[in-house]
Amino acid sequence: MMKKYVWVLLLSPLVFASCLKDQTTEPPPPGVCDTDTVSFSGEIQPLIIDASCNVAGCHDSGTSSAGYAFGNYDQISSNSAVILEVLSHNSGVSPMPLGGDKLADSLIQKFDCWIQQGLLDN
């Protein structure tokens, strides 16, 4: 009888630890999208493009730095691959925002998810 209690006591922490392992709060790795649809008008344009790209002197309609203006859906969606490359600071491209810090990984991941979800104009 005593042996059973010893085994139960020894195995209990393993059982509880395996249950807690499933309850992670870490964000998914880059490139992995959750089931929520990313909103172009609610997230992509205001939080990423308008905040960091479509600003005076950069990629606004008045400046169009390097020939890119990002004032509307068509301009952004047609250049989405390039935008993702420069926001990700990949080698071989000029990292953006120019002269600024790299955007938070969560924002870059959101942009990547928007692409993966089909560049929805929502």
Residue 70 to residue 86: CA distance in whole angstroms: 14
Give this prediction's pTM.
Answer: 0.73
Q: What pLDDT was estimated at residue 1?
A: 54
Residue spans of alpha helices (H) in 1-122:
2-21, 50-52, 73-77, 80-87, 105-116
Residue 73 to residue 71: CA distance in whole angstroms? 7
Centre a 10 Å sphere on the Cβ of residue 103 and count the other Cβ atoms it contains.
Answer: 21
pLDDT, tens digit, for every residue of 58-107?
999 999 999 999 999 999 999 999 999 999 999 999 999 998 899 999 99
- The four Cα atoms 49, 76, 108, 43 give a dihedral, to 10 degrees, of 60
Q: Are 43 and 110 in contact (CB under 8 A)?
A: yes
Contact 87, 111 (CB under 8 A): yes
